[in-house]
Amino acid sequence: MEIIFIPADEMKSVFAEILLKNGFQNRKAETCADIFVQNSLDGVISHGVNRFPRFIQYIRDGYVKPDAEPTLISSSGATEQWDGNLGPGPLNALFATERAMKLAEKNGIALVAMANTNHWMRGGTYGWNAAKKGFLFIGWTNTIANMPAWGAKDPRLGNNPLVIAVPYGNEAIVLDFAMSLYSWGKIETCRLNGEKLPFPGGYDRQGRLTDDPSEIIMTGRVLPAGYWKGSGLALLLDILATVISGGKPTLEITKQNAEYGLSQVFIAVNPENLFNYPSMENSVRLIIEDFKKSIPEVNNQHVRYPGEKALKTRKENLINGIPVNKQIWDTILNL
Amino acid sequence: MEIIFIPADEMKSVFAEILLKNGFQNRKAETCADIFVQNSLDGVISHGVNRFPRFIQYIRDGYVKPDAEPTLISSSGATEQWDGNLGPGPLNALFATERAMKLAEKNGIALVAMANTNHWMRGGTYGWNAAKKGFLFIGWTNTIANMPAWGAKDPRLGNNPLVIAVPYGNEAIVLDFAMSLYSWGKIETCRLNGEKLPFPGGYDRQGRLTDDPSEIIMTGRVLPAGYWKGSGLALLLDILATVISGGKPTLEITKQNAEYGLSQVFIAVNPENLFNYPSMENSVRLIIEDFKKSIPEVNNQHVRYPGEKALKTRKENLINGIPVNKQIWDTILNL
């Protein structure tokens, strides 16, 4: 596999141009291209550059409507429900994050739900966005069924990623995780590289836990993170996303021929009116400093807080360019 | 170990009488006794009858102030910050849950934070309470440091239980889980029974993952649920609880000689004003029905939604009485 390094600016103009050719208006093409580039810069290429061809395909297939705008369905106090009208997932999610921040400015906390939206790519994007603007953020999405419940064989749960973010200096602490221990992307990558998973991440054909990615791909039985805990959390996140947005649950999405029309939740908290706001930055710093004092299991492999690695990768990629599989980049240039 | 069965009513009067003797006023003694009985009825005896002697000890030691009332520190829109004044954890948590529901009636969503409070016993209690009154609920607490971060040897994280609850018919779906795969209570019980843990739940003296409870108790290295995922979530829940309440983080609580002065967060959503409220009950029912259709891994061992087992245990214990270790009951009768 040949790796080439694409500068962020170049990647952004390539993406924007393709989006313009595929029905996006100017400003939207810029914003959407930027999100795909940011995800790639932060090292999340599975939901950045590597996912871009499929995103374009979904537009061509009509699952993602490039010119659709979200419409307000219902509003009550600090909560709003929007219909995403099958618009581009990243644009709808960014819109919802910004609405939640706006509402939180007045109410302290705010809840914005988005029904009939599309894959938001990297959930962390919206956490970084909100936290860098000074807000606390909790958000999640449902997905197509891709994980069996704990104790079950057939996939009836989504892996429903959850994002939690807080400001940290000029940057942020951003937790972004799916309810399966490993993403299908990670499992596929290990299989291609002929590697085992670091820990058992699913079941083999004999129904035993295994770290063999080929077996897990054959059975389709990926393991929930924390066994019954990830399974329970996935179920509750789907129920909440469905109930709060009035949109589709995983079970309805799964009946379709592709993953579209998702339900998402965005909660923002404005810390500015908290009595302890002046000491907030210091509190977070002290917690992280204590966390970083942890005695590492392996010498010199210090523990990392969520988002720390993304920040490091971002800095490297801004200097060296974003590492991309040349074959994928060639595919993109031909879109 | 001799097990005796105590009817819920009898347990409640025994608890209430002891609480009255230990500084609780009438109504508070009733409510607090009721929470300990409900937890026991639902099968969570580790935070019910088995914990009651330690709760009384904490009162006698001065960590829990039986007559303290929460005081409002700050209020802004749909958010409130309270000081728990080291009052009884279950009473403070119930109060905060009720405040959150009250505020959510007006604002759709509400956030109530409680600093300087105490162990809330079973977090699920507040989820059941809110969901049975028709609210969606998300809440969490921090704890003393009792779990190493992922990749670390020394405990610097709390296992910070998270609760999510939604109404389900006249009952509720209640997820209530700590960030360690197993509680110290579960590990200790397995050790006493000479059993292995169902899955590796910590590290042995050689630094290897193990299912041997004795080794884990020796090293103190309990495993986060989902490895890096439970570790990251524990860290973020502590940061959010600290920042939102203005109270103590895990690192400060751990410097004390006992676990008191915790920080907690209570979020309630009132679904009544959502446009889809009329179909909410049906949506949840359809999701659960689909979930229950899962093909079980072991024949006839059907998957369970969070809270389903508690409901079954509650019904059994209401008929047969609550099973209690006679030695613990005798200790309680002598308090």
Q: Are B181 and A287 in contact (CB < 8 Å)?
A: no
Q: Which residues in A lie closer than 8 A to residue B199 (C-beta atoms)? A: 227
Q: Are B230 and A227 in contact (CB < 8 Å)?
A: no
Question: Which of B323, B268, B330, B328 is closest to B54 using CA atoms?
Answer: B328
Question: Which of A6, A58, A69, A32 is closest to A318 using CA atoms?
Answer: A6
Amino acid present at B127 = G
Between B107, B243, B267, which is nearest A107 by CB? B107
Interatomic CA distance for residues B97 and B117, integer angstroms: 13
List the B162-168 sheet strands across, edge first.
B71-76, B79-83, B109-117, B262-269, B136-141, B162-168, B171-177
Q: Are B77 and A109 in contact (CB < 8 Å)?
A: yes
- How distant is the Cα of B184 from the closest Cα of chain A, in angstroms? 16
Q: Which residues in B lie closer than 8 A to residue A296 (C-beta atoms)? A: 151-153
Interatomic CA distance for residues A99 and A97, integer angstroms: 5
The set of catalytic residues of B is 47
Cβ(A48)–Cβ(A121) below 8 Å = yes
Pick the catalytic residue: A12, A14, A43, A47? A47
- How distant is the Cα of B46 from the closest Cα of chain A, in angstroms? 19
Between A233, A273, A303, which is nearest B151 by CB? A303
Residue A206 contacts by C-beta under 8 Å, 6 or more apart in sequence?
none
**Stretch (H or E) spanning A35:** helix A26-41
pLDDT of residue B332: 98
The segments of chain B whose pLDDT lies below 70 read none
Using alpha carbons only, give the angle A106, A109, A110 rounded to the nearest 5 degrees.
Answer: 85
Between B226, B244, B287, which is nearest A249 by CB? B287
pLDDT of residue B184: 87
Q: What is the average per-residue pLDDT within A302-323?
A: 98
Amino acid present at B214 = S
Q: Are B232 and A286 in contact (CB < 8 Å)?
A: no
How many C-beta atoms lie closer than 10 Å to residue A319's C-beta? 9
Q: What is the mean pLDDT of chain A?
A: 97
Both tokens of B291, joined, read: 């979930």
**pLDDT band at residue A1, thresholds of 50, 70 and 90?**
confident
Q: Are A284 and B76 in contact (CB < 8 Å)?
A: no
**Stretch (H or E) spanning A8:** helix A8-21
Helix axes B26-41, B8-21, angle to 10 degrees: 140
Nearest CA in chain A to B100: A109
Helix spans in chain B (H)? 8-21, 26-41, 52-60, 89-107, 124-132, 184-192, 213-219, 228-245, 250-255, 277-292, 308-320, 326-333
Q: What is the CA radius of gyration of chain A?
A: 20
Q: Are A275 and B81 in contact (CB < 8 Å)?
A: yes
Q: Which residues in B lie closer than 8 A to residue A151 (C-beta atoms)? A: 294, 296-298, 301, 303-304
So what's the architecture of B1-61+319-335 in CATH?
Orthogonal Bundle (1.10)
Helix axes A326-333, A8-21, angle to 10 degrees: 40
Question: B114-169: per-residue pLDDT in tens?
Answer: 999 999 999 999 999 999 999 999 999 999 999 999 999 999 999 999 999 999 99
* Domain at B71-180+224-303, CATH from 2.60.120.380, 3.30.930.10, 3.40.640.10, 3.30.1370.60: 3.30.1370.60
How many C-beta atoms lie closer than 10 Å to residue A13's C-beta? 13
Q: Are B297 and A77 in contact (CB < 8 Å)?
A: no
* 3 state SS of A268: strand
Between B156, B236, B296, which is nearest A173 by CB? B236
Q: What is the average per-residue pLDDT within A304-326?
A: 98
**pLDDT band at residue A141, thresholds of 50, 70 and 90?**
very high
Q: Are A154 and B110 in contact (CB < 8 Å)?
A: no
Nearest CA in chain A to B73: A275
**Whole-number percent of chain A with pLDDT over 90:** 96
Q: Which residues in B lie closer than 8 A to residue A77 (C-beta atoms)? A: 78, 106-109, 273
Residue A116 contacts by C-beta under 8 Å, 6 or more apart in sequence?
A83, A84, A85, A86, A247, A248, A261, A262
Mutation site for A-interface testing, chosen from B107, B147, B248 by largest number of A Cβ within 10 Å: B107
For chains A and B, what is the number of CB pairs under 8 angstroms?
259
Helices and strands (H and E) in chain A: how many? 12, 13
- How distant is the Cα of A3 from the closest Cα of chain B, in angstroms? 28
Q: Are B151 and A74 in contact (CB < 8 Å)?
A: no
Q: Which residues in B lie closer than 8 A to residue A136 (C-beta atoms)? A: 240, 243-244
Map out the domains of chain A as residue ranges. 1-61+304-335
Identify the burial level of A87 via C-beta atoms within 10 angstroms of its C-beta, where 0-12 means exposed, 13-18 middle and 19 or more buried.
buried
Q: Which residues in A lie closer than 8 A to residue B241 (C-beta atoms)? A: none
Between A151, A286, A303, which is nearest B150 by CB? A303
Both tokens of B83, joined, read: 């000081």
Interatomic CA distance for residues B139 and B142, integer angstroms: 11
Q: Are A242 and B283 in contact (CB < 8 Å)?
A: yes
Q: What is the average per-residue pLDDT within A239-253?
A: 98
pLDDT of residue B128: 98
pLDDT at A181 over 90: yes
Between B243, B287, B293, which is nearest A238 by CB? B287
pLDDT of residue A19: 98
Q: What is the average per-residue pLDDT within A1-29?
A: 97
Interatomic CA distance for residues A316 and A5, integer angstroms: 11
pTM (predicted TM-score): 0.98
Between A81, A226, A286, which is nearest B229 by CB? A226
pLDDT of residue A82: 98
Q: What is the average per-residue pLDDT within A45-71?
A: 97
Q: Which residues in A lie closer than 8 A to residue B76 (C-beta atoms)? A: 108, 273-274
Q: Which residues in B lie closer than 8 A to residue A116 (C-beta atoms)? A: none
Q: Are A269 and B111 in contact (CB < 8 Å)?
A: yes
Q: Which residues in A lie closer than 8 A to residue B148 (C-beta atoms)? A: 294
Phi then psi for A244, rounded to 5 degrees? -75, -35
- How distant is the Cα of B220 from the closest Cα of chain A, in angstroms? 14
pLDDT of residue A189: 87
Q: Which residues in B lie closer than 8 A to residue A232 (C-beta atoms)? A: 175, 177, 305-306
* 3 state SS of A200: coil
- How distant is the Cα of B172 from the closest Cα of chain A, in angstroms? 11
Q: Are A109 and B106 in contact (CB < 8 Å)?
A: no
Q: Are B294 and A267 in contact (CB < 8 Å)?
A: no
C-alpha of A307 from chain center: 13
Classify domain A1-61+304-335 at the CATH class level. Answer: mainly alpha
